[in-house]
């Protein structure tokens, strides 16, 4: 009779596990954005409708630096914080879907202390760097559930995470370890069983595939937005950003300047020195434009040897000062070039138009900055020209 009862309980547990994995897999498939995928993974580990661990932390491998980086942590950091959170959960009867839907609130939450701590962790991938590093290097779970096992834990990481007994699980995709999960029950002290570790391992395999798919998607989106030669935004992405910034400037009643830049003498330079040198020049000039721009500016290759810089919240005069810095920097970069006639050395000409002073729409802003650029080219090159009302459109001549 007892054997039959135990078998029934085991079947019920397995049914619940597979049902939960199915729900979590469906939830993960609702988005391909990496940060949202990570949030769903950790929510499923900590919500009372999910696996119900007190805390869950996620670390991803940074192959370039050879380190394991903390990227997200969900759960309380202290017992008092835990009490408040669990009380709020029990009062509001939150489901797993409710937790997942609260991603935007979590992202903006300044009080998420655990998340801040986790994001500050970087662990070199060496065998002497503790359990998390070993989880990646060995590609296997570690159960830190005894005092003896705790001796293997890096003391600095243990203090930072304020953890006691925990489990780490590798996340894999196509036999490659992408990262690790760390879960604990530091507040309710519920033991983490062998069955829990088995469930976590199955869950981590789903999570690893979801992360890999998300990364491939984000890489595809990135590549579709980038000019292959200069690594600046391409024409399509420029149009998207400019539409967005014009609408935002309308709402905020703020200025928006557009700087168009064209490389002077580029055809002669390309024909004389060859396409490889021409490509190098475009890359170097793109690097100057990107390096001198602010983080909020959008730098794009508009086409050929023409570039565009979207400058939110920038007056025409400030855009002019910026453009002159760019012009001087490019001129200085090629001033000592002995491979080309001095009169044919590379410089840039720039045209500027500003919303709403010069234009009411995105298309007008592009057209007017382009007219100003043409005027700079027509009047001698290597100069900056500001659009003025009534400026002739000589581009058709």
**What pLDDT, in 10s, does the model give residues 127-165?**
888 899 999 999 999 988 877 777 778 788 888 888 888
Q: Is the separation of the CB atoms in 385 and 350 below 8 Å?
A: yes
How deeply is 322 buried, as exposed, middle or buried, from its count of CB atoms within 10 A (0-12, 13-18, 19+)?
buried
CA-closest candidate to residue 237, choices 221, 258, 249: 221
Does the pLDDT at position 33 exceed 90? no
So what's the pLDDT on residue 396? Answer: 53
The last residue of a domain, from among 188, 220, 252 = 220
**Do 214 and 240 reside in the same domain of the chain?**
no
**Do 213 and 257 reside in the same domain of the chain?**
no
- Cβ neighbours, 10 Å, residue 52: 15
**CATH number, domain with residue 321:** 3.30.70.270
**Do 214 and 310 reside in the same domain of the chain?**
no
Q: Is the separation of the CB atoms in 201 and 143 below 8 Å?
A: no
Whose tokens are 């029990």? That residue is 90
So what's the pLDDT on residue 255? Answer: 96
Q: Classify residue 226: in a domain, yes or no.
A: no
Q: Are strands 298-303 and 122-124 parallel, antiparallel or unpaired?
A: unpaired
What is the domain extent for residue 134?
Answer: 2-220
Structural domains of the chain, count: 2
**Do 248 and 204 reside in the same domain of the chain?**
no
Candidate from 56-60, 73-77, 223-227, 253-257 with smallest mean pLDDT: 73-77
Give per-residue pLDDT as tens, 326-358.
999 999 999 887 777 777 889 999 999 999 999
Does the pLDDT at position 47 exceed 90? no
Residue of 305, 317, 336, 375 marked active site: 305
Look at phi and psi of residue 313 and say left if phi exceeds 0, alpha if psi is from -120 to 50, else beta.
Answer: left
Order of strands, sheet of 384-386, starting from the edge strand that comes earlier in the sequence: 298-303, 306-312, 256-264, 347-355, 384-386
**Do 206 and 290 reside in the same domain of the chain?**
no
**Do 194 and 274 reside in the same domain of the chain?**
no
Distance CA 297, CA 369 (A): 16
DSSP string, 25-76: HHHHTT---HHHHHHHHHHHHHSTTTT--SEEEEEEEETTTTEEEEEEEES-
**Do 250 and 153 reside in the same domain of the chain?**
no
Q: Classify residue 229: in a domain, yes or no.
A: no
The last residue of a domain, from among 170, 185, 220 = 220
- At 35, list the tokens: 């940060």
pTM: predicted TM-score of the whole model, two decimal places: 0.63
Q: Classify residue 225: in a domain, yes or no.
A: no
Q: Express as a percent the part of the chain with pLDDT over 70.
A: 81
Q: Classify residue 257: in a domain, yes or no.
A: yes
**Do 161 and 309 reside in the same domain of the chain?**
no
Q: Is the separation of the CB atoms in 60 and 214 below 8 Å?
A: no
Distance CA 355, CA 259 (A): 12
Kindly report the length of the chain.
397
Q: Is the separation of the CB atoms in 207 and 41 below 8 Å?
A: yes
Does the pLDDT at position 266 exceed 70? yes
Told to judge if 12 belongs to the known catalytic residues of this protein, a careful annotator would answer: no
Q: Classify residue 37: in a domain, yes or no.
A: yes
**Do 369 and 249 reside in the same domain of the chain?**
yes
Q: Classify residue 97: in a domain, yes or no.
A: yes
How deeply is 33 buried, as exposed, middle or buried, from its count of CB atoms within 10 A (0-12, 13-18, 19+)?
middle
**Do 297 and 215 reside in the same domain of the chain?**
no
Q: Classify residue 230: in a domain, yes or no.
A: no
**Do 240 and 146 reside in the same domain of the chain?**
no
Q: Classify residue 92: in a domain, yes or no.
A: yes
- Report the mean per-residue pLDDT for the chain: 84
Does the pLDDT at position 87 exceed 70? no
**CATH number, domain with residue 202:** 3.30.450.40
**Do 241 and 176 reside in the same domain of the chain?**
no
Give per-residue pLDDT as tens, 223-259.
889 999 999 999 999 999 999 999 999 999 999 999 9
Distance CA 393, CA 164 (A): 72
Q: Is the separation of the CB atoms in 57 and 167 below 8 Å?
A: no
The last residue of a domain, from among 220, 255, 286 = 220
């Amino acid at each position: 009779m007892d054997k039959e009862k135990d078998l029934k309980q085991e079947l019920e547990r397995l049914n619940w596990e597979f049902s939960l994995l199915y729900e979590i897999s469906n939830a993960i498939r609702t988005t391909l954005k990496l940060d949202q995928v990570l949030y769903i993974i950790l929510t499923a580990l900590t919500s009372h409708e999910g696996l119900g661990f007190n805390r869950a932390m996620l670390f991803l491998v940074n192959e370039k630096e050879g380190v394991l980086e903390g990227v997200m942590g969900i759960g309380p950091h202290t017992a008092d914080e835990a009490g408040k959170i669990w009380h709020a959960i029990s009062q509001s009867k939150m489901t797993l879907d409710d937790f997942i839907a609260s991603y935007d609130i979590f992202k903006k939450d300044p009080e998420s202390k655990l998340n801040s701590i986790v994001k500050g962790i970087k662990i070199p991938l060496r065998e002497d760097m503790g359990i998390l590093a070993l989880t990646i290097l060995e590609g296997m779970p570690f159960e830190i559930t005894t005092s003896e096992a705790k001796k293997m834990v890096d003391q600095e990481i243990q203090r930072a995470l304020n953890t006691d007994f925990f489990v780490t699980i590798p996340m894999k995709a196509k036999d490659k370890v992408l990262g690790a999960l760390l879960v604990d029950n530091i507040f309710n002290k519920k033991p983490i069983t062998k069955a829990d570790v088995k469930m976590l391992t199955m869950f981590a395999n789903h999570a690893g595939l979801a992360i890999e798919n998300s990364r491939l998607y984000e890489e595809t989106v990135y590549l579709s937005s980038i000019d292959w030669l200069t690594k600046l935004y391409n024409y399509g992405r420029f149009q998207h950003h400019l539409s967005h910034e014009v609408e935002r400037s309308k709402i905020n009643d703020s200025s928006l300047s557009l700087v168009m830049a064209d490389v002077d003498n580029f055809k002669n330079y390309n024909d004389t020195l060859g396409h490889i040198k021409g490509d190098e020049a475009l890359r170097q000039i793109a690097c100057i434009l990107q390096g001198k721009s602010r983080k909020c500016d959008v730098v794009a290759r508009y086409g050929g040897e023409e570039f565009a810089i979207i400058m939110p919240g920038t007056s025409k005069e400030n855009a002019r000062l910026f453009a002159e810095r760019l012009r001087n920097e490019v001129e200085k970069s090629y001033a000592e070039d002995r491979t080309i006639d001095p009169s044919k050395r590379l410089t840039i000409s720039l045209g500027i138009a500003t919303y709403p002073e010069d234009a009411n729409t995105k298309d007008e802003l592009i057209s007017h900055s382009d007219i100003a650029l043409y005027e700079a080219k027509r009047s001698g090159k290597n100069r900056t020209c500001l659009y003025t009302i009534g400026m002739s459109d000589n581009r058709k001549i």
